[in-house]
Amino acid sequence: MSFGQTVPPITNQASPEEKQEELQQNRVNTFDSQALSVRQIEFQENVNAFYSGINAINYSSTRKTPTSQQKQQLNKQLKTIEKIDSESFEYHLFKYKLGNYDFSKINHLKKAAELKPHHQEVLKEFSAFSYINGNERQLRKYLKLYSQFNYKQDEFYVMARNVLLSMPKNTYLITHGENDTYPILIEQKIKNIRPDVEIISLDHLQSEDFREKLKKQGFKMPKKLIIDTAFFDVFMHLNKTKNIVVAPSVPRSYIEKGEEITSMGLGFALFSNPQKDYNRMLYEQTMRKQITEHINNSRENAPIMSNYLPFLLKVRNEYNERNDIESLQEIEHLILEIARLSNKQNQVNRLLNK
């Protein structure tokens, strides 16, 4: 540097060009952040909508197989989820669930399990996969994990236990869905209650593998593959010689076409009658104690308690016919208490002429 030159001052201030570049970068970052936020919102909205659609199908009182319109809507939501994040837990879980127990898609469930191994839906789906495929060791593993996650819904497990205890020997028990199938399987496989009873879930009947498994046990299958009340009606007629009992949790729309609906334990038989005095003896030897304990430990406003009423009313009528006044008064006390807990007082009072 020559002696005539001026030394430029040292400063931390950015030049005008640098300030302009920083401002532009901040705008880009803000735009990216806003775009990301919009995508996250869109992702979550589609996840919530998918869950809502699946729940509507699961809790339908008339069918298990989604309608074409429902499936189209779920596929649309899944494609949006895939477009936003094809590696997400939700994408892989939903891709599997949309297959309705299509085990060719099991790798999607396995990928979901890698991301969230103890998620309730993962444990439930692997329990179903293990049960349908007859893998008892894996079934117990997943049911045990599922029960730890879900055991807070204690009413379902007490009812499941009592339904199992009330069954005739070597019964095929038809269940409806999540709230009865898995508590019953947990009580049976983990607590070793009534291993002679075999569970046939209407949910699982969507699986071709499960239908083939039942065929090997001598069951006949309807040609129709849509699992709904019509399928159920044909299935029951085709297999009327089997020892089938329908769980009390199965919606009445499924069983109302039965030629002769009979209370058998806490469930219903559609084509056969229980042995003489079966329900009364069951009540006196087992269910009176079990039901009383459930009443004493139940919370207020427990609709599930109403599942006891058909069985108890059947036994009550037997006591009435036998003119057993003491037993009649005792069981009517139980019936009225259950009616109060399940908010069925008006209906029960009419039946009892109270």
Output the DSSP codes for 45-78: HHHHHHHHHHHHHHT-SSBSSPPHHHHHHHHHHH
C-alpha closest to that of 304 among 292, 317, 294: 294
**In 3-state terms, what secondary structure has residue 108?**
helix
**In 3-state terms, what secondary structure has residue 125?**
helix
pLDDT value of residue 7: 39
pLDDT value of residue 276: 81
List pLDDT tens digits, range 245-257.
999 999 999 998 7
List pLDDT tens digits, range 13-62.
555 555 455 545 554 454 445 556 888 899 999 999 999 999 999 999 99
pLDDT at 4 over 60: no
130-165: b (≥16 Cβ within 10 Å) or e? bbbeeeeeebbebbebbbeebeeeebbbbbbbbbbb
pLDDT value of residue 266: 98
C-alpha closest to that of 129 among 146, 142, 111, 114: 142
pLDDT at 166 over 80: yes
Pairing of strands 244-246, 172-175: parallel
pLDDT at 92 over 70: yes
Q: Which two tokens stand for residue 236?
A: 């029951």
Q: In this structure, how many other beta carbons lie within 10 angstroms of the beta carbon of residue 91?
A: 25
Between CA 112 and CA 125 the distance in angstroms is: 11
Strand spans (E) along the chain: 172-175, 198-201, 244-246, 262-264, 267-269
174-199: b (≥16 Cβ within 10 Å) or e? bbbbbbbbbbbbbbbbeeebbeebeb
Query: pLDDT band for position 94 (50/70/90)?
Result: very high
Looking at per-residue pLDDT, the higher value among 188 and 298 belongs to 188
- Average pLDDT of the residues in 332-354: 92
Q: Which two tokens stand for residue 277?
A: 């005095």
DSSP 8-state secondary structure symbol assigned to residue 203: T
Contacts of 235 (CB under 8 A, 6+ apart): 205, 220, 221, 222
* Inter-residue contact 259 to 271 (CB < 8 Å): yes
Between CA 79 and CA 279 the distance in angstroms is: 52
- Average pLDDT of the residues in 83-97: 97
pLDDT value of residue 11: 45
pLDDT at 354 over 90: no
Residue type, 295: I
Between CA 177 and CA 321 the distance in angstroms is: 37
**In 3-state terms, what secondary structure has residue 199?**
strand
CA angle 165, 256, 332 (to 5 degrees): 50
pLDDT at 208 over 50: yes
Query: pLDDT band for position 6 (50/70/90)?
Result: very low
Q: Which two tokens stand for residue 141?
A: 């593993």
Alpha carbon of residue 337 to chain centroid: 28
Give the number of residues written for the chain.
354
Query: pLDDT band for position 79 (50/70/90)?
Result: very high
Average pLDDT over the chain reads 89
> How far is the first Cα of the chain from the last one, in angstroms, to the nearest whole number?
113
Pairing of strands 198-201, 262-264: unpaired
List pLDDT tens digits, range 13-22.
555 555 455 5
Between CA 122 and CA 142 the distance in angstroms is: 9
pLDDT value of residue 14: 53
